[in-house]
């Protein structure tokens, strides 16, 4: 699998918890039930997206290094870089959306005022 496909796959996996039910609802297939299903596993989808994204970047950088050593032109170089960058922003946004409340809860556990 090439870096572009891994980048697109990671962005789709990260957004499956939110965009999947919306797409099913738009198609008239009952997005509410799917939303409950996807919400339960959203952290797993974001983790899978991060793994796919890491593999995509690893493959892209390995191919770029190989092409630099052999002075060849990297096929789809600029397009792959753009897709992986956009996918990185999407995955980071969904990861922050999931980790933000946990960080706020942890910070409040340390510094929030507690009633006597």
| pLDDT in the model for residue 23 | 65
How large a percentage of the chain has pLDDT more than 90? 0
Mean predicted confidence (pLDDT) in 54-67: 86
Full-prediction pTM beyond 0.85? no
CB neighbours of 99 closer than 8 A, spacing ≥ 6? none
């Amino acid at each position: 699998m090439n870096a572009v496909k891994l980048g697109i796959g990671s962005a789709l996996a990260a957004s499956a918890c939110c965009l999947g039910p919306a797409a099913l609802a738009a198609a008239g297939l009952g997005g509410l039930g799917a939303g409950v299903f996807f919400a339960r596993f959203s952290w797993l989808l974001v983790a899978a997206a991060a793994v796919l994204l890491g593999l995509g970047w690893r493959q892209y950088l390995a191919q770029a290094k190989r092409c630099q050593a052999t002075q060849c032109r990297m096929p789809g170089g600029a397009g792959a870089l753009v897709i992986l960058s956009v996918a990185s922003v999407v995955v980071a946004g969904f990861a922050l959306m999931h980790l933000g409340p946990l960080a706020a809860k942890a910070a409040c556990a340390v510094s929030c005022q507690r009633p006597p």
